[in-house]
C-alpha cells in the first residue's frame, strides 16, 4: 500500500444543518448518506479553479454539484436512484436563483456505465471527481423519539437506500469494492491527465469487527489505475480552544450507546477519511520515452442548463458542434 502525506481539513466549523441552510431544497435531509458540504467545498477549492469541470458519479442529493457551482465551477452528476437524481436536479436548479455562476447537468443511471452516461465531448476533460461510496448502515440514518413520532420508544428512519438490489449500497464488501473499482476506472477515463479524485469514506464495525473501508478504497483506486496523492482527515467535529467539539446526531449517540452496551467498542465519529488520487499526467510512448497524454491540454467547458436524463443537455451540447467536438 502506498504511503501518502496526511493533513487535517477543518471542515466542521459549523454543524451540517447550518452548512446546508438555505442552499438545499426541503427533503434533502432524508438521504441516508449526505456528504458534509464543507468537505466538498474544501476539495473543490483546493484542487480546481473557477471554470473547471467537476464530476460526482454517485451524487446523491447533489452536494458536490451545489457547492461546485457556487464556486464558479461546472458540474456533471450521476445518480443511480431516480428519487435522488430528481432531488439533485432540484438542488442544482435552486442555485440559479442564488447567483451561482457555474452550470451543470444531472444524469440518472449506473455509474459503472459512466462513460456511456456522460457525453463523449467531456471525456478526458474532468478536472476533479468528488464522491463517496455507500458504506455501513450503522453510520447512516436518523432517529426520532416517541415525542416526535408518536410511536413508543425510538424509531430509526432514513437509514437505507431504495429496494433495487443492484444498488451497491445493498451488496457485500467484496462486491462493493469490485463495483467501486469499476466506477473509479470509468472516472479515470473522464479525468484529464493530471486531474484529481477526492473520495470520502470511513470505517465501520460489522458484528464487532472493524471494516477498514478507507484502506480498501485506496487499494481499489490503485487497481483502477489512479495514483495515490494524499490521505487526509476531514473533520466532522468543530475546534474550540484547541479541543475537538463533537457534533454527533441523536442517531449517532444512540447507535454508539447501544453498541457499547452490547460490548462493541464503538466511538462517536469525528472525521471522514479523505483520499486524494490522480490520473497520471504522462504516458509512455512506443519508444519508451514519456509523452503528454492525449487531451492533456485544458479546454474551456461551457455547460447548458441541466436535465435529469441528459436528453436536453445532449441536444444543446451537440448544437454547439465542433466547439465541443460533438458529432
Angle at 45 between CA 65 and CA 90, to 5 degrees: 15
CATH number for 306:
3.40.50.150
- Phi, psi dihedrals of residue 9, rounded to the nearest 5°: -100, 120
Q: In whole angstroms, give the CA distance from residue 255 to residue 138.
A: 7
For residue 325, is it within any domain?
Answer: no
Q: What single DSSP character describes residue 81?
A: S
For residue 315, is it within any domain?
Answer: yes
Taking Cα atoms as reference points, which of 167, 88, 89, 86 lies closest to residue 134?
167
State how many domains the chain has: 1
Q: Which three cell numbers stand for residue 216?
A: 480498501
Q: In whole angstroms, give the CA distance from residue 3 to residue 231.
A: 8
- The range of the structural domain enclosing residue 167 comes to 8-320
For residue 326, is it within any domain?
Answer: no
For residue 2, is it within any domain?
Answer: no
For residue 227, is it within any domain?
Answer: yes
For residue 179, is it within any domain?
Answer: yes
Q: What single DSSP character describes residue 325?
A: T
Pairing of strands 126-131, 53-56: parallel
For residue 185, is it within any domain?
Answer: yes
pLDDT tens for each residue of the chain, 327 residues long: 566 767 999 999 998 889 888 899 988 888 777 899 999 999 999 999 999 999 999 999 999 999 999 999 999 999 999 999 999 999 999 999 999 999 999 999 999 999 999 999 999 999 999 999 886 454 444 444 445 455 555 544 444 555 666 777 667 888 899 999 999 999 999 999 999 999 999 887 777 677 899 999 999 999 999 999 999 999 999 998 888 888 877 777 887 888 888 888 777 888 999 999 999 996 555 555 555 544 444 445 555 444 444 444 434 433 332 223 232
For residue 1, is it within any domain?
Answer: no
Amino acid at each position: 500500500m502506498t504511503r501518502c502525506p496526511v493533513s487535517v481539513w477543518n471542515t466542521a466549523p459549523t454543524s451540517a444543518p447550518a452548512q446546508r441552510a438555505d442552499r438545499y431544497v426541503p427533503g434533502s435531509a432524508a438521504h441516508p448518506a449526505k456528504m458534509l458540504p464543507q468537505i466538498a467545498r474544501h476539495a473543490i477549492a483546493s484542487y480546481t479553479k473557477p471554470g473547471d469541470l467537476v464530476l460526482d458519479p454517485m451524487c446523491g442529493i447533489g452536494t458536490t454539484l451545489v457547492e461546485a457551482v457556487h464556486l464558479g465551477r461546472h458540474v456533471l452528476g450521476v445518480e443511480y436512484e431516480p428519487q435522488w437524481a430528481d432531488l439533485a436536479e432540484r438542488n442544482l436548479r435552486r442555485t440559479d436563483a442564488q447567483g451561482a455562476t457555474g452550470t451543470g447537468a444531472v444524469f440518472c443511471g449506473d455509474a459503472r456505465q459512466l462513460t456511456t452516461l456522460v457525453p463523449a465531448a467531456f471525456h478526458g476533460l474532468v478536472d476533479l471527481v468528488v464522491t463517496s461510496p455507500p458504506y455501513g448502515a450503522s453510520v447512516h440514518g436518523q432517529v426520532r423519539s416517541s415525542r416526535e413520532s408518536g410511536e413508543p420508544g425510538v424509531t430509526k428512519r432514513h437509514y437505507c437506500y431504495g429496494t433495487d438490489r443492484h444498488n451497491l449500497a445493498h451488496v457485500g464488501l467484496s462486491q462493493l469494492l469490485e463495483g467501486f473499482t469499476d466506477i473509479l476506472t470509468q472516472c479515470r477515463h473522464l479525468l484529464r491527465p493530471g486531474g484529481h479524485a477526492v473520495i470520502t469514506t470511513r470505517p465501520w464495525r460489522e458484528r464487532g469487527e472493524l471494516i477498514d473501508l478507507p484502506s480498501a478504497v485506496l487499494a481499489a483506486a490503485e487497481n483502477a489505475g489512479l495514483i495515490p496523492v494524499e490521505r487526509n482527515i476531514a473533520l466532522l467535529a468543530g475546534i474550540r480552544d484547541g479541543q475537538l467539539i463533537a457534533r454527533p446526531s441523536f442517531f449517532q449517540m444512540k447507535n454508539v450507546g447501544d453498541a457499547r452496551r452490547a460490548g462493541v467498542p464503538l466511538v462517536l465519529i469525528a472525521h471522514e477519511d479523505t483520499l486524494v488520487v490522480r490520473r497520471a499526467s504522462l504516458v509512455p510512448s512506443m519508444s519508451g520515452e514519456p509523452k503528454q497524454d492525449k487531451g492533456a491540454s485544458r479546454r474551456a467547458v461551457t455547460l447548458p442548463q441541466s436535465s435529469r436524463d441528459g436528453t436536453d443537455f445532449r441536444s444543446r451540447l451537440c448544437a454547439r458542434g465542433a466547439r465541443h467536438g460533438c458529432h
